[in-house]
A = this chain, B = another copy of it.
Amino acid sequence: MPFVNIKITNEGVTPEKKADLIKGVTKLLCDLLGKNPQTTVVVIEEVETDNWGIGGETVTVRRKRGQ
């Protein structure tokens, strides 16, 4: 019954990688906490780099500097 929300920057993650991530997180919650995989929900949100800030600046700006 857990609900997991994963926010990442929108920088080209493939559907296959997303499927692997969903599978992995669900397995982890089952193995560690005994949670039922059938009712475990994982939602991935991809956020534009203009809309994600860290260290007081956008990821867009950081990427331009090569970070």
Contacts and interface: CB of A to CB of B under 8 A. Distances in A.
Interface of A: 1-9, 13, 15, 17-29, 32-33, 35, 37-47, 50-61
Q: How many copies does the complex hold?
A: 6
A30 to B, nearest CB: 8
A17 B32 contact: yes
A7 B53 contact: no
A54 B52 CA distance: 17
Contacts of A18: 50-51, 53, 58
Contacts of A58: 15, 18-19, 22
A21 to B, nearest CB: 5
Contacts of A8: 1-2, 29, 33, 35
